[in-house]
Structure 1
Amino acid sequence: MRNFSFLFFIIFSITIQAQEYTVDLDYYLPNDVSYNPTIPTPKSVLGHEVGEWHVTHDKLVHYMTTLAESSDRITLENRGSTFEGRPLLLLTITAPKNHSNLEQIRQEHVGLTEGNSASTQNMPVVVYQGFSIHGNEPSGANAGLVAAYYLAAAQGSKIDALLNNTVILFDPSFNPDGLQRFAYWANIHKAKNINPDPNDREYDEIWPGGRTNHYWFDMNRDWLPVQLPESRARIETFHNWYPNILTDHHEMGTNASFFFQPGIPSRTHPLTPKKNQELTGDIAKFHARAFDKIGSFYYTEESFDDFYYGKGSTFPDINGSIGILFEQASSRGHAQESDNGILTFPFTIRNQFTAALSTLEAASSMREELLNYQKDFFNNAQKEAANGGAIVFGDEKDANKVAYLAEILNRHKIKFHELKEDYTSNGKTYKKGYSYVIPKNQKQHRLINAMFEKRTSFQDSLFYDISAWTFPMAFNMDYDETASVGKLGTEVINFEKRGVALPSTSNYAYLMEWHDYLTPKALNAILSKGIRAKVGMKQFSIAGKDYDYGTILIPVQNQSMDATQLSEVIKEIAAEANVLITAVSTGLTKGIDLGSNQFRALEAPKVAMLVGEGVTSYDAGEIWHLFDQRYDMQLTKLDTRNFSRTDLSRYTDLILPNSYALGKDDAKKIKTWVENGGTLIAYKNTGRWLNSTKLLEMEFKTRKDTARAISFEQRGDYRGAQVIGGAIFNTKLDRSHPIAFGYKNEMLPVFRNSTLFLEADPDSYNNPIQYTDAPLLSGYISKPNLKDLAGTSAFKEKGLGNGNIIYFTDNHNFRAFWYGTNKLLMNAIFFGSEM
């Protein structure tokens, strides 16, 4: 009876505590200032107190708009839209006197990055505060409600000094689509009597969750590649201002406390100046004092790192700023049990708000030191850049891919030039119009180094994210560093993609080489309009021009339209995809003639992809984005919940991203579909399932490591060192194989972040993508793993009945910026039946 009474007391206490989670605004706000009663509180606009419900993005926008209309300290701009059409707001918050002179302040501030010797004595410091780039880490965006109110309404000498000394670029939601998705989930499961039981559905959102944006991308990995609209808006703001501090508010596991940087010292990128980490440590002292004052626990320097420059807290570090990561233990709803007691949503919000204010206090107190650091950063970069040199990059067969890389450089304010004439270096030809040159003697010298460097030696063997991202390798681009800048042409000022010459009208045929990045878009448009097309399995020459493996042939005869109509459609498609299509007047060639059986008929693909629980949402989202945004191709998303009831006969191709979702019955269903003519395309861990079900038998290398002289304390680092977090490796291509059509070089850099090592097939022609004997190009891999990887295969294919199964060991669509390997998937779809 005593045990039962004690248990009842515990349960009753938990319930009471949970019900008392609602707080008023005073819970968050400092009491050392007064507040302007004419400034609307969040509750007066939203209809609920901060933390009572999860704010939806539409309500967040409404409050920020109302606040801007009510305060002369705030201006508001809409910098664009998300994929779902939500506004990307930015509030600029500072003293009214600064607002009246804001453009001059901005120009003087940016002048510090351009060698301006102006005094920083009276110059405001600039702070970019951004919230909840992961939508299901909502305490940041909800804390933004309180922070914006405080900055608009607080009164007194303390806030006046802060606003006079500071320009705050306030981004209330880095990820509007994800925030909206998660707020909906948390709010529809909120009960009148909050239940903090972690098993409640409120704390376990369904796939894909609210972490990501519309296409399921982790946007905190896109600061350097800038492939997403949300990223492009914030990067434009960043380079328009070059803030001195940028904060990035996140959440982590429920049983944690609060983390602020510095991270683990040995995991800072070597290109980041030591002074950057010293300043980060000085700023951390302000956070510590603020958290001590409210009694909240925290830690620093024990986890996370500053290595990958594509993260929000690290990107500023290579741009003369201080990036700061905040990680708050997550309630993942309204209140949840944790090792530290019941963690309430308001408590998480208060911690984030506290960190936001301590950042501003640090910025104001360290104003001159931060401004001078920024000035010194760029002055030192210019001294390094004075050594000169240049990087030339290009692809003589693929203008669109070159333009995509140039577009990224342009967004980062990196200067580049047209080639004034063709240039040859180390056996590579850089063709005018298909290549650019980056002079290294420029302001963004250090950022250029960060984007183009190859690194294979490291101080530490553990990484929070990827260890390599060399951009020309990601694009499979020819590139060289050269001391000479003699081939520089004119600087590209207003960058635009160059258009292609449209084909003349032919009464015989049209040819389209398969090299250009956007040829899949053009081919899909051709086939979707019912136009017959074929693919050339061998090389040939016609009218003095060489055509490579994979050239697309469009005959004029026996089409559903006459020659004139076909010509107009072909011109329209060529213009839309910006690819070169050539009219020819004869079928006689040097090599296979156009009437040869080595031209194989193609059919319009009807593609489906497995999504849902058990499927890696990142991988699936990258494929969806590739189809929808790059190639204008329809892709049917089949949910794992309904897969057993789905009629697969509607589809020519089925894609299985990295997945743990399928069983034996699914294997039988897929086998029948493949035998009837379907093409199955699978990635990464799905290969183990294919092997276990004997759909595609393969041999993966296995190795059992034995830890020697490794202590209990060291075991985590020992295991972590065997992880391939993300590095770049070299593969050798068989360019005559359909999977390699469109690639002009024999070698192809690929991204890899797994230890799935597939034994090569005994027959060499079955290894069209094979890791070289010394495959590491850039990034970290342990010596045992590197030894195991050498010579393995990256691809496996098997015919089954009238169809076939295609397997890739690696994700070739990584984060939307691995342009160089996207075509492998397109080859599997369009040419799978020819393998």
Structure 2
Amino acid sequence: MSFLSIFASLGRALCYCMCLSLPLTAYATSLEAYLGYPLGEWHVRHDQVNGFLEKLAADNPRVSLEDTGYSHERRRQLTAVITSPANQDRLNGIVADRALVKQGKAQPMLVIWLAYSIHGDEASGAHAALALAQHLALSQESWITDLLSQSVVLITPSQNPDGLDRFANWSNSYRGIAVPVADENHKEHNQNWPAGRYNHFLADLNRDWLFLRHPESRGRVALLHKWQPQYVGDFHEMGHNQSYFFQPGVPERTHPLTEQRNQQLTEKLAHFYRQALDAKQQAYFSRQGFDDFFYGKGSTYPDINGAVGVLFEQASARGQVQDSQYGGISLAEAIDNQLTTSLAALKGAHQLRQELISFQNDFYAGKGKTGKQGRLISTRGDRQRLLVLADLLNRHGVVYRYLTQDMKEGKQIFTAADSLFIPNEQPQSVLVEALFERRTRFEDPTFYDVSAWDLGSAFNLAIAENIRPAANQLSTDAPAFGQPALTEDTVALLIDWQQSGAAPLLAQLHRDGIAVRASVKPFTPVASARAFAAGTLMISTAQKQMTRDALLPYLTDLARQYEVRLFPVVSFASATGIDLGSGDFVPLKPVNALLVSGRGTDATEVGEIWRYLDLELKQGVTLVDSDRLARISLNRYSHILLADGNYDHLDDALGRKLGEFAEQGGVIVAQKRALIWLNKRNLLRNTVLEDGFYKQQFSTAGLGFDDKEALRARQAIGGAILNWQLDPAHPLAFGMPSATVPVMKNEVLGLSDTSEPFVIAARYPQNPLVSGYLSDEYQRAFGLSNALLAEPKGKGVVVGTTDNLLFRNIWLGTEKIYTNALYLLPAAMSR
């Protein structure tokens, strides 16, 4: 059925309803009347999406709305819940029944969730979703009334409200009104940085289904677990020189934890898309290009939650109309295709309803019982990281318990303050396996996204497997947060820097003018059995900014707010190590950082740094586009932060300007390809090894033309987890619980050996691979090479890292290293 015929059917449905003497207001919603123009003539904004859904729900007894919260920019996320009026009347009961699915209790209701435009500039999906919602609300076609009597259809038009609006405003601003411009060079088709793909903090939300670092993702996942759909359609756009894709993807690139039955159903459903697209002579493909591997995407997360997830990709006009190899693509055609496959998905799910229901029921059968054996997990002394992990598990519906008594397993002590237990046998057992899986061998080493995402590595956890704690050693309650009393004889307070809350607390202390020092050597205070590592913060009770009587309750309240434990001392003397009045307790200065954004920079990595400083450190950061750097004074900033990117457009003059910034005491923190530019501009003495160097490690002898793609796959690093070996005494390693820490590597980049002493803070060990795919050639090449350095430059320092320490804001295990570059390193290096 074509896009135009859909609207013809809407008119017929309206006439039919009027002939039955139904209230006109119940079926009077008109999408074109609401918008004031035919759908697709302009790109819709998110407020228009929400406004139409609200009107549709108010006008029609088949429609109600789910509110899944707000985006970062406070845009509401609405989902239309469409089913028969009789089902709407008992919706609460249906939802209650859906909650029984994970208990292995078979449920007969089919739930279909169609979700669109998680990338804001892939906008045809959002438009098609509005047309589909109206069609389902009005149509009297027998298959639709039958569908709605037996099923609940969820339609989420816009999964990325902030990105959708960014793109709509761009496209509408530059479209031709009288004559649409199809030239791919036209400004309408080439968005400015950072484009509408991303959310407020420039995250790709279709990589956040497992990590849940953004409110849009948390709302989506909560919706999935509330409704437990058996079918999830995930609608996207791809390059304009493509046709149309739907899953199944490449069979060899399906994650092994995905059941074969899931893929069989995916193939059966594909018959309906093929039939629908063939009928309108629309070219398409499947089983190529896209995989079904990383569970952090909208088409794969359902696969480990008892559903069948299906990816759809439509060629994008990125505006109204654009030339392409297929004779051009228009927004109207893209909407039509998305609507066609959406209807085909509903027909397919309806006809295969019993198989889909049976698959889900079988998926959870026998998994409702919670067994005793499982994983015992410690966050290595960091209570805040424990609570973040627990919150993530809660949102995924994972059963866990907090440890109430200290336990020893092997050489590892699991304390009640920082440990929890996850049983293996539970409803979300497959998801738990996926979250903590470590895999290094693959049938096909080609990955659309990362090849590993182990939470144990991301959080730098200590894990003991196949453990059976006694029932009295476990509790549903989080460990209590205690704080020692601050007495009148307290002369100073110590803060263990290993605590995640220590850095945002430090930022608050700086804002309030409180002087803070940090140790650069370990020590043990007198009358204390506790040893403190280098990096420990010290706050003297003698402050110029605040009286002692005001300071102690102020610090107590602040520590409670950030859940940071204070350790009072009654003397500046130490039993071992440095005294608290030593010059090895260095004063820490406030941070005023500039983050380079815009042209050349990797938007997602800029966003990760931005989000970390803003939301986690409560520090704030100034974003300045790279093209403006030459025109502004850098004197007010303490740090210049460079994300991954191509900085070749920045000239020697700017290099000299940044050099002067560092010479005068500034800190430059750069990651990945930013190191290449620093090296070319003589801001980094260490040589950067690029992909050309590493690809020389691969032999091409005897390879035929058919081996080209396989070689390309072996030479790619889509995302693998490697270990770093830290220098524990280096200031960049302060507060790290262990000398070995896993990092995510997704760039073919390294640092050469250097004879300069005291510069290297971390190296890859000889056998660096922890999880994921990394060719043998790369494993040998990266083994024992340098990964993290801090080069002194005048009074300042240049910090360089070959990997992203803040990967997708889920890599909590290495955040502290980045924090050290901000707060502790400058003071320690200035000694």
- TM-score, structure 1 normalization: 0.94
Q: What residue number does 1:753 align with? A: 746
Q: Deviations over 1:636-694 (max 9, x none)?
A: 00111211101000101110111212332211110011111100110100111111122
Q: For the residues of structure 2 that align with 1:306 and 1:700, how far apart are their CA atoms?
A: 35
Contact in 1 for aligned 2:381/2:417 (Cα 8 Å): no
- CA separation in 1, counterparts of 2:303 and 2:90? 28
Q: Which residue of 1 aligns with 2:4?
A: 26
- 2:483 is matched with which residue: 501, 508, 512? 501
TM-aligned CA deviation for residue 490 of structure 1: 3.9
Are the equivalent residues in 1 in contact too, given 2:380–2:418 (CA < 8 A)?
Answer: yes
**1:362-398, CA deviations, whole angstroms, 9 ceiling, x for partnerless residues?**
1110011100011111126569x86x52101113421
| TM-superposed deviation, 1:716 | 2.5
Give, in whole Å, the separation in 2 of the partners of 1:488 and 1:407.
Answer: 23
2:499 paired residue number: 516
> Residue 445 in 1 paired to residue 429 in 2?
yes
Task: Determine if contact 1:770/1:795 at 8 Å carries over to the other structure.
Answer: yes
CA contact (8 A) 2:266 2:308 kept: yes
Superposed CA offset, 1:191-230 (max 9, x none): 1211111111000000000000000000001111111101
SS at match of 2:668: strand
Partner of 1:3: none
The residue that corresponds to 2:704 in the other structure is: 711
Alignment of 1:24-63 (within 5 A): 26-29=4-7, 31=9, 34-36=12-14, 38-63=27-52
Q: Which letter maps to 2:669?
A: I
1:777 aligns with 2:766: no
Deviation (angstroms), 1:24: 11
Q: Note the C-alpha offset of 1:43.
A: 1.0
Please list, as runs of the form range in 1=range in 2, the aligned pairs for 1:243-392 lying within 5 A after superposition.
243-379=229-365, 381=367, 389-392=373-376
Number of the residue aligned with 1:527: 510
> Which secondary structure state, in structure 1, belongs to the residue aligned with residue 365 of structure 2?
helix
Which of 469, 476, 485 matches 2:453? 469
Distance change >3 Å, CA 767–CA 43, structure 1 → 2: same
Give the number of aligned pairs: 805
Q: Which residue of 2 aligns with 1:88?
A: 77
Partner of residue 783 from structure 2, selected from 776, 782, 790? 790
1:492-521: CA deviation from partner (whole Å, max 9, x where unpaired): 2xx768544265255511110101112110
- Which amino acid is 1:273 matched to? E
Name the SS for the 2:263 alignment partner: helix
CA contact under 8 A between 2:112 and 2:229: conserved in structure 1? yes
Give the Cα separation in 2 of the matches to 1:295 and 1:667: 55
CA separation in 2, counterparts of 1:522 and 1:110?
Answer: 40
Report 1:422-437 matches (<5 A): 422-437=406-421
Q: Per the alignment, in what secondary structure is the counterpart of residue 135 of structure 1? A: coil
- Taking a change above 3 Å as real, the CA distance of residues 707 and 457 of structure 1, as seen in their structure-2 partners, is same
Q: Is the 8 A contact 1:162 1:364 kept in 2?
A: yes
Task: Give the CA deviation at 1:440.
Answer: 1.1
Q: Distance in 2 between matches of 1:198 and 1:434?
A: 55
CA distance in 1, matches of 2:383, 2:746: 29
Letter in 2 for 1:274: Q
Question: Is contact 1:128–1:168 with CA below 8 Å preserved after alignment?
Answer: yes
The answer on whether the counterparts of 1:513 and 1:551 sit within 8 Å (CA) in structure 2 is: yes
Does the C-alpha gap of structure 1 residues 218 and 589 become closer, same or farther in structure 2, counting only changes over 3 Å? same
Contact 1:770 1:794 in 2 (8 A): yes
Match of 1:138 in 2: 123
In structure 1, what is the equivalent of residue 208 of structure 2?
222
Q: Alpha-carbon deviation of 1:552?
A: 0.3
CA contact (8 A) 1:420 1:487 kept: no
In structure 2, relative to structure 1, the CA distance for the partners of 1:32 and 1:566 (3 Å cut) is: closer
Q: Residue 799 of structure 1 is aligned with which of 747, 772, 792?
A: 792
Could you tell me how far apart the structure 1 residues matched to 2:157 and 2:533 are? 51
Q: Which residue of 2 aligns with 1:733?
A: 726
Distance 1:276 1:568 in 2: 58
Is the 1:418–1:488 Cα contact (8 Å) retained in structure 2?
Answer: no
Query: Is the CA contact 2:416–2:479 (under 8 Å) kept in the aligned structure 1?
Result: no
Structure 1 unaligned spans of 5+:
1-22
Number of the residue aligned with 1:655: 641
416-425 or 806-815: bigger deviation: 416-425
Comparing 26-35 with 411-420, greater Cα deviation is found at 26-35
Residue 11 of structure 1: aligned partner: none
Asked if 1:633 is matched to 2:604, the reply is: no
| Cα distance in 1, alignment partners of residues 475 and 519 from structure 2 | 39
Counterparts of 2:70 and 2:243 in 1: how far apart (Å)?
Answer: 34
- For 1:517, give the aligned amino acid: S
Please state whether the residue corresponding to 1:649 is helix, strand or coil: coil
1:105 aligns with 2:65: no
Contact 1:679/1:832 (8 A) holds in 2: no
Q: Contact 2:3/2:339 (CA < 8 Å) preserved in 1?
A: no
Quote the Cα distance in structure 2 between the aligned partners of 1:547 and 1:76.
Answer: 54
Q: Residues 185 and 479 (structure 1 numbering): CA distance in 2 closer, same or farther, change over 3 Å?
A: same
Q: Is the 8 A contact 1:217 1:618 kept in 2?
A: yes
Among residues 539, 548, 571, which one is paired with 1:554 in the alignment? 539
| Structure 2 CA distance for aligned equivalents of residues 503 and 131 of structure 1 | 54
CA distance in 2, matches of 1:291, 1:710: 39
**Residue 813 (structure 1) aligned to one of 801, 806, 811:** 806
- State the AA in 2 paired with 1:249: F
For the residue of structure 1 that corresponds to 2:282, the secondary structure is coil
Tell me what 2:24 maps to: none
Give the TM-score normalised by the residue count of structure 2.
Answer: 0.94
Deviations 1:432-470 (A, max 9, x none): 131100111211111110101111111111100001111
| Whole-Å separation in 2 of the counterparts to 1:455 and 1:58 | 44
1:147 maps to 2:136 = no
SS at match of 2:705: coil
Query: Following the alignment from structure 2 to structure 1, what is the Cα–Cα distance between the partners of residues 538 and 259?
Result: 55
Q: Which shows bigger deviation, 766-775 or 182-191?
A: 766-775
491 and 570 in structure 1: CA distance in 2 versus 1, 3 angstrom threshold: closer
Q: Distance in 1 between matches of 2:543 and 2:472?
A: 49
Question: Counterpart in 2 of 1:393?
Answer: 377
Structure 2 unaligned regions, length at least 5: 16-26
Match for 1:146: what amino acid? Answer: A
AA matched with 1:299: F
User: Once the 2 structures are TM-superposed, how far is the Cα of residue 569 of structure 1 from its aligned partner?
Assistant: 2.3
The answer to whether structure 1 residue 489 and structure 2 residue 467 are counterparts is no
Task: Please tell me whether the aligned partners of residues 757 and 788 of structure 1 are also in contact (alpha carbons under 8 angstroms).
Answer: no
Instruction: Give the conservation status (yes or no) of the 8 Å contact 1:382–1:445.
Output: no
Distance 1:764 1:428 in 2: 34
Match of residue 176 from structure 1: 161
Code of the residue aligned with 1:520 in structure 2: it is A
Q: Which amino acid aligns with 2:730?
A: H
1:738 is matched by which residue type in structure 2? P
Partner of residue 646, structure 1: 632
Is the Cα–Cα contact under 8 Å of residues 550 and 738 in structure 1 kept in the other structure?
yes
Give the letter aligned to residue 776 of structure 1: L
Given the alignment, which residue of 569, 574, 588 partners 2:559?
Answer: 574
Deviation at 1:770, TM superposition (A): 1.2
CA contact (8 A) 1:813 1:822 kept: yes
CA contact (8 A) 1:134 1:210 kept: yes
Report sequence identity in percent. 34
- How far apart are the structure 1 equivalents of 2:687 and 2:411? 38
1:573 corresponds to which letter in structure 2? L
475 and 503 in structure 1: CA distance in 2 versus 1, 3 angstrom threshold = farther
Does structure 1 conserve the Cα–Cα contact (< 8 Å) formed by 2:759 and 2:791? no
Question: 1:379 and 1:710, CA in 2 relative to 1: closer, same or farther beyond 3 A?
Answer: farther
Q: CA RMSD in A?
A: 1.9
